[in-house]
Amino acid sequence: MQTIYSFLDLSGVIAHPAGGTFAFTGQGTGQVSVSMSQERTQMETAADGTVMISKMAGNNGTISISCQQTSTVHKFLLGLYNLLIIASPEQWAQGAILLKNITDGTTHIATGVCFNKIPDKTYTRQGGQVVWALMAGDIQNLPV
């Protein structure tokens, strides 16, 4: 039996109480990456070679969304960024993101989502991609 991958099998929702909700299914989006920030294991080696293993906590990370500079997801994120940059500080990290891939069943739920920075943008002959880096205070990787 074959397994087929398609980026269009990814669906996502970006939500913020001040800026509304945006649902995307890959249109205008080139890549979405979920990166955890914390290493979960640390090993300390004593002089005699004894190893002490520590299980570390931490579910924070980054979600990067690479999208066409004319896409609706870029326009939503730019509008939300511009709204939050002048809003009161307590609104900054109230975003949430849900990502679900129907092919492999993976689901990521990110809360405490805020902008790292506005993406770099180049002006060229041909339109290109911009990359939004969104930081999340908690990312849950739900089991398949």
The DSSP symbol for 28 reads T
Q: Is the pLDDT of residue 101 over 90?
A: no
Does residue 119 sit within a domain? yes
pLDDT (0 to 100) of residue 1: 63
Does residue 45 sit within a domain? no
27: which 2 tokens? 């249109």
Say which amino acid occupies 118: I
Domain count, the chain: 1
Does residue 53 sit within a domain? no
Q: Is the pLDDT of residue 2 over 80?
A: no
Q: Is the pLDDT of residue 104 over 90?
A: no
Cβ atoms of 19 and 79 within 8 Å: the answer is yes
pLDDT (0 to 100) of residue 105: 85
- For residue 108, what is the domain's CATH number? 2.30.110
Q: Classify the C-alpha dihedral 13-101-9-69 as positive or negative.
A: positive
Report d(CA 22, CA 57) in Å as an integer.
Answer: 31
Domain containing residue 16: 11-35+58-142
Segment 35-48 mean pLDDT = 92
Segment 3-24 mean pLDDT = 86
Q: Classify the C-alpha dihedral 122-95-116-42 as positive or negative.
A: negative
pLDDT (0 to 100) of residue 107: 94
The per-residue pLDDT for range 48-96, each reduced to its tens digit, is 999 999 998 999 999 999 999 999 999 999 999 999 999 999 999 999 9
Cβ atoms of 54 and 44 within 8 Å: the answer is yes
Does residue 82 sit within a domain? yes
